[in-house]
Amino acid sequence: MFGETSAFSGFSVDDLDAAKRFYGETLGLKVEEAGDADMRMLFLTLAGGTRIFVYPKENHTPASYTILNFEVDDVERAVDDLSARGVTMERYPEFETDEKGIMRGGDGRPSIAWFTDPAGNVLSVLKEV
């Protein structure tokens, strides 16, 4: 039924201005603001043209899962670049990570590192095996 229909994903944040700076300036994504003074929103454009809707939510609670994964050629280089931009990698007790916060792949697993946006939503950089 929806195989030929375009779609997009979305998520909430508690501070639209902070999200606009983070996704536009820190991560370097194309960010477009839409709406009016009563209902502002953002659209992020990813490589390949995929768009993501970001909306403010007064009682925002960060997702307890990774909302956005960025596939990269070199996770270590991506982590170094993010760190240089002031982004801190997250560490989860259930995953063994190195000193940079990277869970190294192998045995069919990707290398991955997690970080959060200003609203606490979890994102990652990863390299598939």
User: What tens digit of pLDDT does each residue of 64-103 get?
Assistant: 899 999 999 999 999 999 999 999 999 988 888 999 999 9
Query: Which residues are bridge partners to 103 per DSSP?
Result: 112
Ordered by start, the domain boundaries in the chain are 9-56, 66-127
The CATH class of 66-127 is: alpha beta
Q: Is the pTM of this model over 0.85?
A: yes
The CATH class of 9-56 is: alpha beta
Q: Quick check: 108 pLDDT over 80?
A: no
Rounded Cα distance between 61 and 50, Å, is: 24
Q: Do domains 9-56 and 66-127 have the same CATH topology?
A: yes
Contact 63, 18 (CB under 8 A): no
